[in-house]
Structure 1
Protein backbone atom coordinates (compact mmCIF):
# COMPACT_ATOMS: atom_id res chain seq x y z
CA UNK A 1 0.00 0.00 0.00
CA UNK A 2 1.29 3.44 -0.91
CA UNK A 3 1.65 6.53 1.25
CA UNK A 4 -1.74 8.03 2.11
CA UNK A 5 -2.81 11.64 1.68
CA UNK A 6 -2.74 12.17 5.43
CA UNK A 7 0.76 10.68 5.72
CA UNK A 8 2.05 12.88 2.91
CA UNK A 9 0.65 16.05 4.49
CA UNK A 10 2.24 15.04 7.80
CA UNK A 11 5.61 14.62 6.07
CA UNK A 12 5.33 18.06 4.48
CA UNK A 13 4.56 19.58 7.87
CA UNK A 14 7.47 17.69 9.44
CA UNK A 15 9.78 19.25 6.85
CA UNK A 16 8.27 22.66 7.61
CA UNK A 17 6.92 23.03 4.08
CA UNK A 18 4.07 25.53 4.05
CA UNK A 19 0.96 24.74 2.01
CA UNK A 20 -2.75 25.56 1.84
CA UNK A 21 -5.28 22.74 1.61
CA UNK A 22 -8.56 22.79 -0.34
CA UNK A 23 -10.93 19.83 -0.13
CA UNK A 24 -13.45 19.31 -2.94
CA UNK A 25 -15.34 16.53 -4.79
CA UNK A 26 -13.32 14.05 -6.83
CA UNK A 27 -12.10 15.65 -10.09
CA UNK A 28 -10.58 13.91 -13.11
CA UNK A 29 -9.41 16.88 -15.19
CA UNK A 30 -7.72 20.23 -14.75
CA UNK A 31 -10.93 21.90 -15.96
CA UNK A 32 -12.94 20.27 -13.18
CA UNK A 33 -10.28 21.17 -10.63
CA UNK A 34 -10.35 24.80 -11.78
CA UNK A 35 -14.04 25.04 -10.86
CA UNK A 36 -13.08 24.59 -7.21
CA UNK A 37 -9.72 26.37 -6.89
CA UNK A 38 -9.37 28.40 -10.09
CA UNK A 39 -10.40 31.61 -8.32
CA UNK A 40 -7.38 31.33 -6.00
CA UNK A 41 -4.09 32.91 -7.08
CA UNK A 42 -1.84 29.96 -7.97
CA UNK A 43 -0.72 28.07 -11.06
CA UNK A 44 -2.85 25.10 -12.07
CA UNK A 45 -0.88 22.03 -13.11
CA UNK A 46 -1.43 19.18 -15.53
CA UNK A 47 0.50 15.96 -15.03
CA UNK A 48 1.33 13.37 -17.68
CA UNK A 49 2.46 9.85 -16.79
CA UNK A 50 4.52 8.58 -19.72
CA UNK A 51 6.55 5.55 -20.78
CA UNK A 52 9.12 4.96 -23.50
CA UNK A 53 9.77 1.90 -25.66
CA UNK A 54 11.97 0.36 -22.98
CA UNK A 55 9.19 0.79 -20.40
CA UNK A 56 11.05 3.48 -18.49
CA UNK A 57 8.63 5.87 -16.81
CA UNK A 58 8.34 9.66 -16.56
CA UNK A 59 6.05 12.20 -14.93
CA UNK A 60 5.85 15.47 -16.87
CA UNK A 61 4.35 18.12 -14.61
CA UNK A 62 3.46 21.38 -16.37
CA UNK A 63 1.36 24.49 -16.05
CA UNK A 64 -2.14 23.90 -17.41
CA UNK A 65 -1.54 26.20 -20.40
CA UNK A 66 1.93 24.90 -21.31
CA UNK A 67 2.00 23.12 -24.66
CA UNK A 68 3.79 19.79 -24.35
CA UNK A 69 4.70 18.19 -27.68
CA UNK A 70 5.55 14.54 -26.98
CA UNK A 71 7.36 14.13 -30.32
CA UNK A 72 9.68 17.05 -29.54
CA UNK A 73 10.15 15.90 -25.95
CA UNK A 74 10.99 12.38 -27.15
CA UNK A 75 13.74 13.75 -29.41
CA UNK A 76 15.13 15.93 -26.62
CA UNK A 77 15.38 12.83 -24.41
CA UNK A 78 17.14 10.95 -27.19
CA UNK A 79 14.25 8.50 -27.65
CA UNK A 80 13.35 9.28 -31.29
CA UNK A 81 10.15 10.93 -32.50
CA UNK A 82 7.77 8.23 -31.22
CA UNK A 83 9.63 7.39 -28.05
CA UNK A 84 7.06 8.60 -25.52
CA UNK A 85 3.45 7.59 -25.03
CA UNK A 86 0.95 7.55 -22.17
CA UNK A 87 1.65 4.89 -19.56
CA UNK A 88 -1.11 2.28 -19.11
CA UNK A 89 -3.71 2.91 -16.41
CA UNK A 90 -2.58 -0.09 -14.37
CA UNK A 91 0.87 1.52 -14.02
CA UNK A 92 -0.78 4.47 -12.27
CA UNK A 93 -2.18 2.24 -9.53
CA UNK A 94 0.66 -0.29 -9.39
CA UNK A 95 3.76 1.92 -9.80
CA UNK A 96 2.63 5.34 -8.57
CA UNK A 97 0.07 3.78 -6.19
CA UNK A 98 -2.44 6.61 -6.60
CA UNK A 99 -6.01 6.62 -7.96
CA UNK A 100 -6.59 7.52 -11.61
CA UNK A 101 -6.72 11.30 -11.98
CA UNK A 102 -4.29 11.79 -9.07
CA UNK A 103 -0.93 11.77 -10.87
CA UNK A 104 1.36 14.46 -9.44
CA UNK A 105 5.05 14.72 -8.50
CA UNK A 106 4.07 13.73 -4.95
CA UNK A 107 3.50 10.16 -6.20
CA UNK A 108 7.29 9.76 -6.20
CA UNK A 109 7.09 9.49 -2.42
CA UNK A 110 6.15 5.83 -2.94
CA UNK A 111 9.06 3.39 -3.10
CA UNK A 112 7.49 1.58 -6.06
CA UNK A 113 8.02 4.77 -8.09
CA UNK A 114 11.72 5.06 -7.25
CA UNK A 115 12.81 4.77 -10.90
CA UNK A 116 10.34 7.29 -12.32
CA UNK A 117 11.96 10.45 -13.72
CA UNK A 118 10.28 13.82 -13.10
CA UNK A 119 10.31 16.79 -15.50
CA UNK A 120 9.01 20.00 -13.93
CA UNK A 121 7.84 22.85 -16.12
CA UNK A 122 10.22 25.78 -15.81
CA UNK A 123 7.12 27.98 -16.04
CA UNK A 124 6.18 27.01 -12.49
CA UNK A 125 8.88 29.42 -11.31
CA UNK A 126 6.82 32.37 -12.55
CA UNK A 127 4.13 31.64 -9.94
CA UNK A 128 4.41 32.23 -6.22
CA UNK A 129 2.38 29.07 -5.56
CA UNK A 130 1.17 26.14 -7.66
CA UNK A 131 -1.65 23.59 -7.30
CA UNK A 132 -1.15 19.82 -7.00
CA UNK A 133 -3.20 16.87 -5.76
CA UNK A 134 -1.62 15.35 -2.62
CA UNK A 135 -1.97 11.70 -3.82
CA UNK A 136 -5.76 12.02 -3.96
CA UNK A 137 -7.93 13.95 -6.41
CA UNK A 138 -10.49 14.98 -3.79
CA UNK A 139 -8.02 17.53 -2.41
CA UNK A 140 -5.75 20.22 -3.85
CA UNK A 141 -2.86 21.89 -2.08
CA UNK A 142 -0.95 25.01 -3.12
CA UNK A 143 2.73 25.44 -2.30
CA UNK A 144 5.87 27.09 -3.60
CA UNK A 145 7.35 25.10 -6.48
CA UNK A 146 10.83 25.22 -4.94
CA UNK A 147 9.48 23.50 -1.83
CA UNK A 148 8.06 20.75 -4.06
CA UNK A 149 11.41 20.44 -5.86
CA UNK A 150 13.28 20.21 -2.55
CA UNK A 151 10.85 17.60 -1.22
CA UNK A 152 11.20 15.35 -4.29
CA UNK A 153 14.99 15.71 -4.29
CA UNK A 154 15.04 14.65 -0.64
CA UNK A 155 13.48 11.36 -1.77
CA UNK A 156 16.48 10.69 -3.99
CA UNK A 157 14.40 10.86 -7.16
CA UNK A 158 15.46 12.12 -10.61
CA UNK A 159 13.98 15.61 -11.06
CA UNK A 160 14.79 18.66 -13.18
CA UNK A 161 13.28 21.94 -14.34
CA UNK A 162 12.70 21.93 -18.10
CA UNK A 163 11.52 24.49 -20.64
CA UNK A 164 8.85 22.18 -22.03
CA UNK A 165 7.96 24.46 -24.94
CA UNK A 166 11.52 24.69 -26.24
CA UNK A 167 12.32 22.92 -29.50
CA UNK A 168 16.12 22.79 -29.84
CA UNK A 169 17.69 21.14 -32.87
CA UNK A 170 18.91 17.60 -32.21
CA UNK A 171 21.57 16.23 -34.51
CA UNK A 172 25.11 14.96 -34.89
CA UNK A 173 26.67 18.12 -33.51
CA UNK A 174 23.85 18.86 -31.08
CA UNK A 175 23.08 15.90 -28.81
CA UNK A 176 19.69 15.64 -27.01
CA UNK A 177 19.69 18.23 -24.24
CA UNK A 178 17.59 16.11 -21.83
CA UNK A 179 19.26 12.73 -22.34
CA UNK A 180 20.62 12.77 -18.79
CA UNK A 181 17.03 12.60 -17.46
CA UNK A 182 16.37 9.16 -18.97
CA UNK A 183 16.37 6.49 -16.22
CA UNK A 184 18.98 3.73 -16.62
CA UNK A 185 17.89 0.56 -18.46
CA UNK A 186 18.89 -1.72 -15.58
CA UNK A 187 16.35 -0.25 -13.14
CA UNK A 188 13.37 -2.08 -14.63
CA UNK A 189 15.10 -5.43 -14.12
CA UNK A 190 16.12 -4.57 -10.58
CA UNK A 191 12.55 -3.54 -9.81
CA UNK A 192 11.35 -7.06 -10.48
CA UNK A 193 14.15 -8.54 -8.41
CA UNK A 194 13.41 -6.32 -5.41
CA UNK A 195 9.68 -6.99 -5.58
CA UNK A 196 10.43 -10.70 -5.13
CA UNK A 197 12.95 -10.15 -2.36
CA UNK A 198 11.08 -12.41 0.08
CA UNK A 199 13.64 -15.13 0.77
CA UNK A 200 12.35 -18.72 0.62
CA UNK A 201 13.87 -21.90 1.99
CA UNK A 202 12.94 -25.27 0.50
CA UNK A 203 11.36 -27.73 2.91
CA UNK A 204 14.06 -30.33 2.24
CA UNK A 205 16.88 -29.91 4.79
CA UNK A 206 19.53 -30.95 2.25
CA UNK A 207 18.35 -28.54 -0.42
CA UNK A 208 20.06 -25.22 -1.00
CA UNK A 209 18.26 -21.94 -0.21
CA UNK A 210 16.42 -20.30 -3.06
CA UNK A 211 17.40 -16.62 -3.52
CA UNK A 212 15.70 -13.84 -5.44
CA UNK A 213 17.48 -14.56 -8.73
CA UNK A 214 14.63 -16.67 -10.15
CA UNK A 215 12.64 -13.59 -11.18
CA UNK A 216 15.72 -11.98 -12.67
CA UNK A 217 16.27 -15.10 -14.77
CA UNK A 218 12.79 -14.75 -16.24
CA UNK A 219 13.35 -11.09 -17.07
CA UNK A 220 16.71 -11.80 -18.64
CA UNK A 221 15.17 -14.59 -20.71
CA UNK A 222 12.50 -12.19 -21.96
CA UNK A 223 15.17 -9.70 -22.92
CA UNK A 224 17.04 -12.36 -24.91
CA UNK A 225 13.90 -12.91 -26.98
CA UNK A 226 14.05 -9.24 -27.92
CA UNK A 227 17.73 -9.53 -28.88
CA UNK A 228 18.17 -12.87 -30.66
CA UNK A 229 21.56 -14.22 -31.67
CA UNK A 230 23.46 -13.11 -28.58
CA UNK A 231 23.02 -15.56 -25.70
CA UNK A 232 20.66 -18.48 -25.27
CA UNK A 233 18.19 -18.45 -22.38
CA UNK A 234 20.07 -21.40 -20.81
CA UNK A 235 23.34 -19.48 -20.91
CA UNK A 236 21.54 -16.44 -19.52
CA UNK A 237 20.26 -18.41 -16.52
CA UNK A 238 23.72 -19.85 -15.88
CA UNK A 239 25.24 -16.38 -15.96
CA UNK A 240 22.66 -15.06 -13.49
CA UNK A 241 23.27 -17.96 -11.11
CA UNK A 242 27.01 -17.31 -11.23
CA UNK A 243 26.34 -13.62 -10.55
CA UNK A 244 24.14 -14.53 -7.61
CA UNK A 245 26.88 -16.73 -6.15
CA UNK A 246 29.35 -13.82 -6.39
CA UNK A 247 27.13 -11.81 -4.07
CA UNK A 248 28.08 -14.11 -1.19
CA UNK A 249 31.78 -13.26 -1.71
CA UNK A 250 32.81 -9.69 -0.68
CA UNK A 251 35.80 -9.61 -3.06
CA UNK A 252 33.69 -10.61 -6.05
CA UNK A 253 31.03 -8.15 -4.92
CA UNK A 254 33.59 -5.31 -5.07
CA UNK A 255 34.77 -6.55 -8.48
CA UNK A 256 31.18 -6.38 -9.71
CA UNK A 257 30.88 -2.74 -8.60
CA UNK A 258 34.21 -1.74 -10.19
CA UNK A 259 33.22 -3.45 -13.43
CA UNK A 260 29.97 -1.49 -13.61
CA UNK A 261 31.81 1.81 -13.00
CA UNK A 262 34.38 0.93 -15.68
CA UNK A 263 31.66 0.02 -18.19
CA UNK A 264 29.97 3.40 -17.72
CA UNK A 265 33.25 5.33 -18.09
CA UNK A 266 34.25 3.38 -21.20
CA UNK A 267 30.82 3.91 -22.72
CA UNK A 268 30.99 7.68 -22.19
CA UNK A 269 34.65 8.23 -23.12
CA UNK A 270 34.36 7.58 -26.83
CA UNK A 271 35.99 9.51 -29.63
CA UNK A 272 32.72 11.08 -30.77
CA UNK A 273 31.84 12.13 -27.20
CA UNK A 274 35.27 13.70 -26.67
CA UNK A 275 34.82 15.74 -29.85
CA UNK A 276 31.30 16.83 -28.97
CA UNK A 277 31.74 17.57 -25.27
CA UNK A 278 35.37 18.60 -25.00
CA UNK A 279 36.12 20.17 -21.63
CA UNK A 280 32.68 19.15 -20.32
CA UNK A 281 33.36 15.42 -20.73
CA UNK A 282 34.52 15.03 -17.15
CA UNK A 283 31.28 16.52 -15.86
CA UNK A 284 29.25 14.34 -18.25
CA UNK A 285 31.03 11.17 -17.08
CA UNK A 286 30.59 12.12 -13.43
CA UNK A 287 26.87 12.80 -13.89
CA UNK A 288 26.44 9.58 -15.84
CA UNK A 289 28.06 7.54 -13.08
CA UNK A 290 25.82 9.14 -10.46
CA UNK A 291 22.67 8.72 -12.56
CA UNK A 292 23.28 5.14 -13.64
CA UNK A 293 24.99 3.76 -10.58
CA UNK A 294 23.28 5.17 -7.47
CA UNK A 295 20.16 3.00 -7.66
CA UNK A 296 22.05 0.01 -9.01
CA UNK A 297 24.53 0.03 -6.13
CA UNK A 298 21.64 0.08 -3.67
CA UNK A 299 20.11 -2.89 -5.48
CA UNK A 300 23.45 -4.75 -5.58
CA UNK A 301 23.94 -4.11 -1.87
CA UNK A 302 20.44 -5.41 -1.12
CA UNK A 303 21.02 -8.52 -3.22
CA UNK A 304 24.41 -9.06 -1.54
CA UNK A 305 22.81 -8.77 1.89
CA UNK A 306 19.93 -11.09 1.00
CA UNK A 307 22.20 -13.68 -0.60
CA UNK A 308 24.62 -13.64 2.35
CA UNK A 309 21.68 -13.97 4.71
CA UNK A 310 20.27 -16.86 2.70
CA UNK A 311 23.60 -18.70 2.65
CA UNK A 312 23.98 -18.19 6.40
CA UNK A 313 20.42 -19.28 7.07
CA UNK A 314 20.90 -22.47 5.05
CA UNK A 315 24.19 -23.27 6.77
CA UNK A 316 22.57 -22.67 10.16
CA UNK A 317 19.74 -25.07 9.38
CA UNK A 318 22.18 -27.79 8.31
CA UNK A 319 24.23 -27.33 11.50
CA UNK A 320 21.15 -27.59 13.70
CA UNK A 321 20.00 -30.71 11.83
CA UNK A 322 23.41 -32.39 12.35
CA UNK A 323 23.32 -31.58 16.07
CA UNK A 324 19.83 -33.06 16.43
CA UNK A 325 20.93 -36.27 14.72
CA UNK A 326 23.73 -36.86 17.23
Structure 2
Protein backbone atom coordinates (compact mmCIF):
# COMPACT_ATOMS: atom_id res chain seq x y z
CA UNK A 1 0.00 0.00 0.00
CA UNK A 2 1.02 3.66 0.05
CA UNK A 3 4.35 4.20 1.79
CA UNK A 4 3.62 5.01 5.47
CA UNK A 5 5.99 7.98 5.50
CA UNK A 6 4.07 9.68 2.69
CA UNK A 7 1.10 11.92 3.50
CA UNK A 8 -2.32 11.02 2.17
CA UNK A 9 -2.91 12.17 -1.38
CA UNK A 10 -5.38 14.90 -0.44
CA UNK A 11 -3.48 16.43 2.50
CA UNK A 12 -2.63 20.03 1.60
CA UNK A 13 0.62 20.34 3.50
CA UNK A 14 3.31 20.76 0.82
CA UNK A 15 4.88 24.05 -0.24
CA UNK A 16 3.97 24.71 -3.88
CA UNK A 17 7.43 25.22 -5.40
CA UNK A 18 7.44 21.99 -7.46
CA UNK A 19 3.90 22.48 -8.71
CA UNK A 20 4.65 26.07 -9.67
CA UNK A 21 7.88 25.09 -11.44
CA UNK A 22 6.05 22.54 -13.59
CA UNK A 23 3.29 25.03 -14.44
CA UNK A 24 5.93 27.58 -15.47
CA UNK A 25 7.63 25.04 -17.74
CA UNK A 26 4.30 24.19 -19.36
CA UNK A 27 3.65 27.90 -19.89
CA UNK A 28 6.95 28.10 -21.74
CA UNK A 29 5.71 25.30 -24.02
CA UNK A 30 2.52 27.16 -24.82
CA UNK A 31 0.21 25.42 -22.35
CA UNK A 32 -2.02 28.01 -20.60
CA UNK A 33 -1.90 28.09 -16.81
CA UNK A 34 -5.62 27.36 -16.64
CA UNK A 35 -5.12 24.14 -18.59
CA UNK A 36 -2.03 23.14 -16.61
CA UNK A 37 -3.93 23.65 -13.33
CA UNK A 38 -7.17 21.97 -14.48
CA UNK A 39 -8.61 19.75 -11.77
CA UNK A 40 -6.53 21.27 -8.96
CA UNK A 41 -8.88 24.03 -7.83
CA UNK A 42 -5.93 26.42 -8.10
CA UNK A 43 -5.27 29.53 -10.14
CA UNK A 44 -1.87 30.92 -11.02
CA UNK A 45 -2.49 33.93 -8.76
CA UNK A 46 -2.65 31.55 -5.79
CA UNK A 47 1.12 31.13 -6.00
CA UNK A 48 1.49 34.66 -4.64
CA UNK A 49 0.04 33.59 -1.30
CA UNK A 50 2.84 32.74 1.12
CA UNK A 51 0.54 30.48 3.14
CA UNK A 52 -0.43 28.33 0.13
CA UNK A 53 -0.02 24.59 0.67
CA UNK A 54 -0.86 21.93 -1.90
CA UNK A 55 -1.52 18.21 -1.87
CA UNK A 56 0.19 15.36 -3.68
CA UNK A 57 -3.08 14.85 -5.56
CA UNK A 58 -2.95 18.40 -6.90
CA UNK A 59 0.64 17.89 -7.97
CA UNK A 60 -0.27 14.62 -9.68
CA UNK A 61 -3.14 16.38 -11.47
CA UNK A 62 -0.67 18.84 -12.99
CA UNK A 63 1.54 15.91 -14.01
CA UNK A 64 -1.43 14.24 -15.70
CA UNK A 65 -2.24 17.51 -17.48
CA UNK A 66 1.36 17.77 -18.64
CA UNK A 67 1.20 14.23 -20.03
CA UNK A 68 -1.90 15.13 -21.99
CA UNK A 69 -1.02 18.64 -23.15
CA UNK A 70 2.76 18.99 -23.48
CA UNK A 71 4.04 19.07 -27.06
CA UNK A 72 7.29 17.48 -25.81
CA UNK A 73 7.22 13.82 -24.72
CA UNK A 74 10.36 14.33 -22.61
CA UNK A 75 8.93 17.27 -20.64
CA UNK A 76 9.27 15.49 -17.28
CA UNK A 77 12.98 14.79 -17.76
CA UNK A 78 13.52 18.38 -18.89
CA UNK A 79 11.53 19.74 -15.95
CA UNK A 80 13.67 17.78 -13.53
CA UNK A 81 16.94 18.85 -15.10
CA UNK A 82 15.78 22.48 -14.99
CA UNK A 83 15.46 22.32 -11.19
CA UNK A 84 17.89 24.34 -9.13
CA UNK A 85 18.80 23.46 -5.60
CA UNK A 86 17.89 26.94 -4.34
CA UNK A 87 14.25 26.29 -5.33
CA UNK A 88 14.08 23.91 -2.37
CA UNK A 89 14.66 26.60 0.23
CA UNK A 90 16.47 25.61 3.43
CA UNK A 91 16.50 21.96 2.33
CA UNK A 92 18.49 22.98 -0.72
CA UNK A 93 20.90 25.12 1.28
CA UNK A 94 21.41 22.27 3.73
CA UNK A 95 22.55 20.04 0.86
CA UNK A 96 24.63 22.75 -0.76
CA UNK A 97 26.50 23.60 2.43
CA UNK A 98 27.14 20.00 3.54
CA UNK A 99 30.86 19.54 4.31
CA UNK A 100 31.01 16.16 2.54
CA UNK A 101 29.04 14.31 -0.13
CA UNK A 102 28.12 11.62 2.40
CA UNK A 103 26.61 14.20 4.71
CA UNK A 104 24.68 15.63 1.77
CA UNK A 105 23.19 12.17 1.13
CA UNK A 106 22.23 11.81 4.78
CA UNK A 107 20.61 15.25 4.77
CA UNK A 108 18.78 14.52 1.52
CA UNK A 109 17.22 11.38 2.95
CA UNK A 110 16.41 12.68 6.44
CA UNK A 111 14.55 15.80 5.29
CA UNK A 112 13.16 14.59 1.98
CA UNK A 113 9.57 14.98 3.19
CA UNK A 114 10.10 18.74 2.80
CA UNK A 115 10.37 18.35 -1.01
CA UNK A 116 6.81 17.10 -1.74
CA UNK A 117 8.08 13.72 -3.03
CA UNK A 118 5.93 11.64 -5.38
CA UNK A 119 8.17 8.56 -5.51
CA UNK A 120 9.85 6.56 -2.76
CA UNK A 121 13.64 6.73 -2.60
CA UNK A 122 16.47 4.85 -0.90
CA UNK A 123 20.26 5.07 -1.14
CA UNK A 124 22.49 1.99 -1.38
CA UNK A 125 26.27 1.47 -1.55
CA UNK A 126 27.53 -1.50 -3.57
CA UNK A 127 31.29 -1.49 -3.56
CA UNK A 128 32.37 0.51 -6.60
CA UNK A 129 28.82 1.70 -7.23
CA UNK A 130 26.13 3.61 -5.38
CA UNK A 131 22.48 3.64 -6.33
CA UNK A 132 19.46 5.83 -5.80
CA UNK A 133 16.58 3.35 -5.74
CA UNK A 134 13.04 4.49 -6.51
CA UNK A 135 9.64 2.98 -5.75
CA UNK A 136 5.99 3.62 -6.51
CA UNK A 137 5.07 5.07 -3.10
CA UNK A 138 1.61 6.24 -4.14
CA UNK A 139 0.76 3.01 -5.97
CA UNK A 140 0.26 4.69 -9.34
CA UNK A 141 1.23 1.48 -11.15
CA UNK A 142 4.80 0.90 -12.35
CA UNK A 143 3.60 0.49 -15.93
CA UNK A 144 1.36 3.56 -15.92
CA UNK A 145 2.23 6.70 -17.92
CA UNK A 146 1.68 8.81 -14.79
CA UNK A 147 4.24 6.87 -12.74
CA UNK A 148 6.68 7.04 -15.65
CA UNK A 149 6.19 10.82 -15.73
CA UNK A 150 6.83 11.38 -12.01
CA UNK A 151 9.81 9.04 -12.12
CA UNK A 152 11.31 10.88 -15.10
CA UNK A 153 10.81 14.13 -13.21
CA UNK A 154 12.58 12.65 -10.19
CA UNK A 155 15.47 11.31 -12.28
CA UNK A 156 16.07 14.71 -13.85
CA UNK A 157 15.81 16.45 -10.48
CA UNK A 158 18.17 13.95 -8.88
CA UNK A 159 20.86 14.62 -11.46
CA UNK A 160 20.33 18.39 -11.36
CA UNK A 161 20.78 18.51 -7.58
CA UNK A 162 23.84 16.26 -7.76
CA UNK A 163 25.45 18.64 -10.21
CA UNK A 164 24.55 21.73 -8.16
CA UNK A 165 26.30 20.21 -5.15
CA UNK A 166 29.20 18.38 -6.79
CA UNK A 167 29.75 19.95 -10.20
CA UNK A 168 28.40 19.72 -13.74
CA UNK A 169 30.83 16.98 -14.80
CA UNK A 170 29.06 14.38 -12.66
CA UNK A 171 27.40 11.68 -14.78
CA UNK A 172 25.53 8.51 -13.83
CA UNK A 173 26.72 5.10 -14.99
CA UNK A 174 23.32 3.74 -15.96
CA UNK A 175 19.63 4.13 -15.22
CA UNK A 176 17.55 0.95 -14.82
CA UNK A 177 13.79 1.16 -15.30
CA UNK A 178 11.04 -1.41 -14.71
CA UNK A 179 8.81 -0.43 -17.62
CA UNK A 180 9.16 -0.99 -21.39
CA UNK A 181 10.97 1.65 -23.44
CA UNK A 182 8.64 4.59 -24.21
CA UNK A 183 8.56 6.31 -27.60
CA UNK A 184 11.06 8.91 -26.39
CA UNK A 185 13.45 6.33 -24.90
CA UNK A 186 16.45 7.80 -26.73
CA UNK A 187 16.03 11.04 -24.79
CA UNK A 188 16.95 9.31 -21.52
CA UNK A 189 20.54 8.73 -22.62
CA UNK A 190 20.77 12.15 -24.27
CA UNK A 191 19.47 14.10 -21.30
CA UNK A 192 20.81 12.01 -18.40
CA UNK A 193 24.15 11.32 -20.04
CA UNK A 194 24.14 7.56 -19.43
CA UNK A 195 22.72 4.35 -20.93
CA UNK A 196 19.12 3.48 -20.05
CA UNK A 197 18.02 -0.12 -19.47
CA UNK A 198 14.25 -0.66 -19.79
CA UNK A 199 12.25 -3.65 -18.58
CA UNK A 200 14.91 -4.17 -15.91
CA UNK A 201 13.10 -6.91 -13.93
CA UNK A 202 11.62 -4.62 -11.32
CA UNK A 203 14.82 -2.60 -10.82
CA UNK A 204 14.33 1.14 -10.69
CA UNK A 205 17.55 2.94 -9.91
CA UNK A 206 20.09 5.53 -10.95
CA UNK A 207 23.67 4.29 -10.51
CA UNK A 208 26.87 6.32 -10.03
CA UNK A 209 30.51 5.55 -9.38
CA UNK A 210 31.02 5.38 -5.62
CA UNK A 211 34.02 7.69 -5.94
CA UNK A 212 31.76 10.77 -5.89
CA UNK A 213 31.06 10.08 -2.22
CA UNK A 214 34.59 11.27 -1.54
CA UNK A 215 34.03 14.64 -3.25
CA UNK A 216 33.95 17.78 -1.16
CA UNK A 217 31.12 20.14 -2.17
CA UNK A 218 32.49 23.44 -3.47
CA UNK A 219 30.18 25.41 -1.18
CA UNK A 220 30.50 23.12 1.83
CA UNK A 221 30.45 25.09 5.06
CA UNK A 222 30.01 23.34 8.44
CA UNK A 223 28.64 26.43 10.18
CA UNK A 224 26.07 27.13 7.47
CA UNK A 225 25.19 23.44 7.30
CA UNK A 226 24.50 23.39 11.05
CA UNK A 227 22.11 26.35 10.86
CA UNK A 228 20.35 24.89 7.81
CA UNK A 229 20.04 21.50 9.49
CA UNK A 230 18.54 22.99 12.64
CA UNK A 231 16.01 24.90 10.54
CA UNK A 232 15.17 21.74 8.58
CA UNK A 233 14.54 19.95 11.88
CA UNK A 234 12.03 22.63 12.85
CA UNK A 235 10.37 22.58 9.43
CA UNK A 236 10.16 18.80 9.50
CA UNK A 237 8.54 18.87 12.93
CA UNK A 238 6.02 21.43 11.69
CA UNK A 239 5.36 19.31 8.59
CA UNK A 240 4.75 16.17 10.63
CA UNK A 241 2.46 18.07 12.96
CA UNK A 242 0.48 19.36 9.98
CA UNK A 243 -0.20 15.85 8.69
CA UNK A 244 -3.72 14.67 9.33
CA UNK A 245 -4.47 12.27 12.15
CA UNK A 246 -5.61 9.62 9.65
CA UNK A 247 -2.23 9.69 7.92
CA UNK A 248 -0.42 9.48 11.27
CA UNK A 249 -2.61 6.56 12.31
CA UNK A 250 -1.91 4.64 9.10
CA UNK A 251 1.83 5.11 9.60
CA UNK A 252 1.55 3.87 13.20
CA UNK A 253 -0.51 0.81 12.25
CA UNK A 254 2.03 -0.14 9.58
CA UNK A 255 4.94 -0.11 12.01
CA UNK A 256 4.17 -3.63 13.25
CA UNK A 257 1.59 -5.42 11.06
CA UNK A 258 -0.07 -8.26 12.93
CA UNK A 259 0.20 -6.52 16.30
CA UNK A 260 -2.14 -3.64 15.65
CA UNK A 261 -2.74 -1.45 18.72
CA UNK A 262 -6.28 -0.61 19.83
CA UNK A 263 -7.68 2.88 19.96
CA UNK A 264 -6.93 3.22 23.69
CA UNK A 265 -3.29 2.25 23.09
CA UNK A 266 -2.93 4.76 20.25
CA UNK A 267 -4.56 7.53 22.27
CA UNK A 268 -2.24 6.83 25.20
CA UNK A 269 0.82 6.86 22.93
CA UNK A 270 -0.26 10.25 21.55
CA UNK A 271 -1.13 11.53 25.04
CA UNK A 272 -4.73 12.31 24.18
CA UNK A 273 -8.01 10.70 25.19
CA UNK A 274 -9.66 8.09 23.01
CA UNK A 275 -12.64 10.43 22.78
CA UNK A 276 -10.41 13.15 21.30
CA UNK A 277 -8.90 10.67 18.85
CA UNK A 278 -12.36 9.57 17.70
CA UNK A 279 -13.38 13.19 17.23
CA UNK A 280 -10.24 14.03 15.24
CA UNK A 281 -10.76 11.05 12.97
CA UNK A 282 -14.43 11.93 12.52
CA UNK A 283 -13.44 15.46 11.44
CA UNK A 284 -11.49 13.83 8.61
CA UNK A 285 -14.42 11.55 7.74
CA UNK A 286 -12.97 8.40 9.27
CA UNK A 287 -13.31 6.08 12.23
CA UNK A 288 -10.62 4.00 13.94
CA UNK A 289 -11.99 0.64 12.76
CA UNK A 290 -12.42 2.00 9.25
CA UNK A 291 -8.76 3.01 9.09
CA UNK A 292 -7.65 -0.33 10.57
CA UNK A 293 -9.74 -2.21 8.01
CA UNK A 294 -8.22 -0.13 5.20
CA UNK A 295 -4.69 -0.96 6.35
CA UNK A 296 -5.49 -4.66 6.72
CA UNK A 297 -7.20 -4.76 3.33
CA UNK A 298 -4.32 -3.13 1.49
CA UNK A 299 -1.76 -5.34 3.22
CA UNK A 300 -3.82 -8.41 2.36
CA UNK A 301 -3.98 -7.37 -1.30
CA UNK A 302 -0.21 -6.84 -1.32
CA UNK A 303 0.40 -10.29 0.19
CA UNK A 304 -1.99 -11.97 -2.25
CA UNK A 305 -0.56 -10.26 -5.32
CA UNK A 306 3.13 -10.28 -4.46
CA UNK A 307 3.74 -13.40 -2.33
CA UNK A 308 2.83 -17.06 -2.17
CA UNK A 309 1.73 -16.88 1.47
CA UNK A 310 -1.22 -19.12 2.32
CA UNK A 311 -4.49 -17.71 3.67
CA UNK A 312 -3.53 -19.00 7.12
CA UNK A 313 -0.19 -17.18 6.97
CA UNK A 314 -1.79 -13.95 5.72
CA UNK A 315 -4.45 -14.16 8.42
CA UNK A 316 -1.78 -14.50 11.11
CA UNK A 317 0.25 -11.63 9.65
CA UNK A 318 -2.83 -9.40 9.89
CA UNK A 319 -3.60 -10.30 13.48
CA UNK A 320 -6.42 -12.81 12.86
CA UNK A 321 -6.43 -15.93 15.02
CA UNK A 322 -8.31 -17.95 12.38
CA UNK A 323 -8.19 -17.89 8.58
CA UNK A 324 -12.00 -18.07 8.45
CA UNK A 325 -12.25 -14.69 10.15
CA UNK A 326 -9.79 -13.21 7.68
CA UNK A 327 -11.68 -14.64 4.69
CA UNK A 328 -14.97 -13.21 5.95
CA UNK A 329 -13.41 -9.79 6.56
CA UNK A 330 -11.71 -9.77 3.15
CA UNK A 331 -15.00 -10.63 1.41
CA UNK A 332 -16.64 -7.75 3.28
CA UNK A 333 -13.91 -5.31 2.26
CA UNK A 334 -13.58 -6.24 -1.41
CA UNK A 335 -16.53 -8.41 -2.41
CA UNK A 336 -14.03 -11.13 -3.38
CA UNK A 337 -12.59 -14.18 -1.71
CA UNK A 338 -8.82 -14.14 -1.15
CA UNK A 339 -8.41 -16.86 -3.80
CA UNK A 340 -10.40 -14.84 -6.34
CA UNK A 341 -8.36 -11.72 -5.58
CA UNK A 342 -5.12 -13.65 -6.05
CA UNK A 343 -6.28 -15.03 -9.43
CA UNK A 344 -7.37 -11.55 -10.51
CA UNK A 345 -3.91 -10.22 -9.66
Q: Same fold (TM over 0.5)?
A: no
**TM-score scaled by structure 2?**
0.26
Determine which structure has the larger strand proportion and give its number: 1
Larger radius of gyration: 1
